[in-house]
Amino acid sequence: GLMKGDKHEEPEPGPEPAAPPPSTDEEEPLLEFHHSYRELFQFFCNNTTIHGAIRLVCSQHNRMKTAFWAVLWLCTFGMMYWQFGLLFGDYFSYPVSLNINLNSEKLVFPAVTVCTLNPYRYTEMKKDLEELDRITEQTLFDLYKYNSSNTLVAHARGRRDLRESLPHPLQRLQVPAPPHASSRVRRSNSSLSDNNPQVNRKDWKIGFQLCNQNNSDCFYRTYSSGVDAVREWYRFHYINILSRRQDTPLLEEEALGKFIFACRFNQVSCNEANYSHFHHPMYGNCYTFNDKNTSNLWMSFMPGVNNGLSLTLRTEQNDFIPLLSTVTGARVMVHGQDEPAFMDDGGFNLRPGVETSISMSKEAVDRLGGDYGDCTKNGSDVPVENLYGTKYTQQVCIHSCFQVNMIRECGCAYIFYPQPRGVEFCDYRKHNSWGYCYYKLQDAFSSDRLGCFTKCRKPCKTGSSRCCPYRTITPSRTREMGLPNSTSSSRS
């Protein structure tokens, strides 16, 4: 409080706050409006940092100079956006870099499957094939005058009765010649000597007829070569005979003769515990070395002829089914331990009486899925049932896809593919129209109308063994004296 006598002092007024300085013309406003696009373009060219843009304004009094800079400016902008397009296109194409590494190290030796190329001994199958063989020999005699035996029927009536004893007989079909071509063909053929005048491939084809269940639709399976037609017809009937022999026991190794004469891996003898056995309808008894059922897998340490698997095989050349196969020897395939042996797709034949060396190399492929490629990790996302019960591969999927369609469309299973439980193999005594259904389905399969090749994607990770016979040695006569005549040797 104030006491008496004190002076009350009023505070002196301070200086007034300074007023904001007036705006000047030098300071540019934050937002500036232009009356025309021309003024906007001039403002852009005067203030941009793009090289050459200011030249469009400062050289406006010289039209040639302005035109030159305008063209140059547009070209640089065009090249810039072209580069942008290339970069974006390259980015969204998801490019993949391929790295190849060559290593020489300790590896697991692959599985090796060897087949006899003879499904059954002819003496064991002769009773079942007797009628089929007689008809086939008679057909070859009618077409080419080829007499493979002395039991052919001489009269036409007997041949006709013989042909009608089996369904789907072979027939010779006349092919209509195109207009203006028959006379030219006859003139060209008349100047050439023909050993068999009855065979004229320009005028006829040979085949057999296949019909559906109620015979409302039929077609001919024809070939321009009589030999091809006879072989396919024989194979078709042979499949039906095999379907009836499924309940009979398979031939044991003793019945076929000892096929594996000698076996060594890395200079150490192997025995029956090192391989497993299965039977193939066309390639006979097959033996798989170093498969997943083997307790100790073989390891490969060093390359060379003396390292790896060495086999001496004994083939029964005199007891093959003569009209089923035209080759003798052995069928070999190299594959993974957890993969089935597709002898038709990846196998190759070994000639008897010689020593063959086979070189092998392992390839491991790691594919990128997602946006970089269409692959599957383990086949679980592929809409095809795996009938083999093995590791997923593209071949396993394709064969399973065909068999699934075969069972659904034809009502029976194809004998060369796995047989699901509760499904019978195809036999025209039980399924009289399965041949019609099979050949129709095979045509759709080959053209991918079934979608098997589209559904079955490649696995993202796969390893395969590439092999090829690179050396064949014919033994000398002194060496042949020590081994049977039908013995061949192979090294891998």
Q: Output the pLDDT for position 245.
A: 77
Question: DSSP string covering 282-322, please?
Answer: TTEEEEEES-TT-SS--EE---STTSSEEEEEE--GGGS-T
- DSSP assignment letter at 274: G
Express each pLDDT in 367-421 by its tens digit.
888 777 889 998 999 999 999 989 999 999 999 999 999 999 999 999 999 999 9
Joined together, the tokens standing for residue 23 give 């705006």
Distance CA 246, CA 243 (A): 6
Name beta bridge partners: 333.
113
Q: Output the pLDDT for position 249.
A: 46
Name beta bridge partners: 285.
279
Distance CA 480, CA 282 (A): 30
Q: Output the pLDDT for position 191.
A: 37
Distance of CA 159 to the CA centre of its chain: 43
Distance CA 438, CA 407 (A): 10
Distance CA 382, CA 459 (A): 10
With a cut of 50, which residues of the chain have pLDDT below it? 1-2, 4, 151-163, 181-201, 249, 251, 253, 255-257, 478-483, 485
Joined together, the tokens standing for residue 311 give 């086999």
2-40 residues labelled b (16+ CB within 10 A) or e (exposed) = eeeeeeeeeeeeeeeeeeeeeeeeeeeeeeeeeeeeeee
- CA angle, 402 then 405 then 409, to 5°: 140
Distance of CA 210 to the CA centre of its chain: 29
Q: Output the pLDDT for position 43.
A: 76
Closest CA to 231 of 164, 282, 285: 282
Joined together, the tokens standing for residue 370 give 């997602």
Q: Output the pLDDT for position 23.
A: 54
Q: Output the pLDDT for position 414.
A: 95
Q: Output the pLDDT for position 320.
A: 78
Distance CA 258, CA 36 (A): 101
End-to-end CA distance of the chain: 119
Q: Output the pLDDT for position 289.
A: 92
Joined together, the tokens standing for residue 245 give 């022999």
How large is the angle between the packed helices 156-163 and 122-144, nearest 10 degrees?
A: 130
From residue 168, give the alpha-carbon distance in Å to each of 164, 207, 273, 336, 433.
Answer: 8, 9, 46, 41, 11
pTM over 0.85: no
Closest CA to 132 of 157, 162, 159, 173: 162
Q: Output the pLDDT for position 19.
A: 56
Closest CA to 459 of 353, 356, 386: 386
Question: DSSP string covering 349-408, please?
Answer: EE-TTSEEEEEEEEEEEE---GGG--EESSSTTSSS--SS-S---HHHHHHHHHHHHHHH
Give residue for tokens 């304004």. 57
Amino acid identity of 8?
H
Q: Output the pLDDT for position 17.
A: 58
Inter-residue contact 376 to 473 (CB < 8 Å): no
Distance CA 62, CA 83 (A): 32
Inter-residue contact 363 to 461 (CB < 8 Å): no
Burial class (CB in 10 A: 0-12, 13-18, 19+), 469: middle
Inter-residue contact 434 to 237 (CB < 8 Å): no
Joined together, the tokens standing for residue 322 give 């003569």
Amino acid identity of 372?
Y
Question: DSSP string covering 289-300, please?
Answer: ES-TT-SS--EE
